[in-house]
Amino acid sequence: MTTAEDLDQRYGRTRRRRLPWLLTIIAAVIVVAIAAWMTISQSANSVTSDDLGFEVVDSHEVTVRFQISNAHGKEVACAVEALDEEFGVVGWKIVEIPKLESHIQQFTTTVPTVSEATTGLVNACWVA
């Protein structure tokens, strides 16, 4: 005598397993949540710097003007460089800035150099 189970198996009407699909969906949701959290936490700690100008004072000093944004209420550090005409680093300085009072602030710093610089710029800024 043929049972309903035999007929289901013969004609491909087997019970579908829901556990593997459920585990796959849960794993996908966890991966998406982790990626979203990492993206949000990185953007919250990002600092943007813009070079505003420089002035070569003499052969041993350059003044760099720059602005920082996206760092309201955070302590920031910036690497400021002086370059020669072949883009070699002839001076650099780490500028530590206390908690910023506004969304965008401008700063001026003097960088000592070992030879005459042709430009001064901000290499990078980060939340300290």
Higher pLDDT, 4 or 35: 35
Q: Which CATH class is domain 48-127?
A: mainly beta
CA separation, residue 69 to residues 41, 54, 84, 100 (Å): 17, 19, 27, 9
pLDDT for res 14: 66
Over residues 93-100, mean pLDDT: 90
Which range among 35-49, 51-65, 78-92 shows the weakest confidence by mean pLDDT? 35-49
Task: Enter the tokens of residue 61.
Answer: 């000093």
Domain boundaries, the chain: 4-44, 48-127
Higher pLDDT, 110 or 8: 110
Pairing of strands 104-112, 61-69: antiparallel
Task: Enter the tokens of residue 22.
Answer: 């459920």
Over residues 81-101, mean pLDDT: 92
* Element housing 83 (H / E): strand 76-83
Query: HEC states along 20-72?
Result: HHHHHHHHHHHHHHHHHHHHHHHHHCCCEEEEEEEEEEECCEEEEEEEEECCE
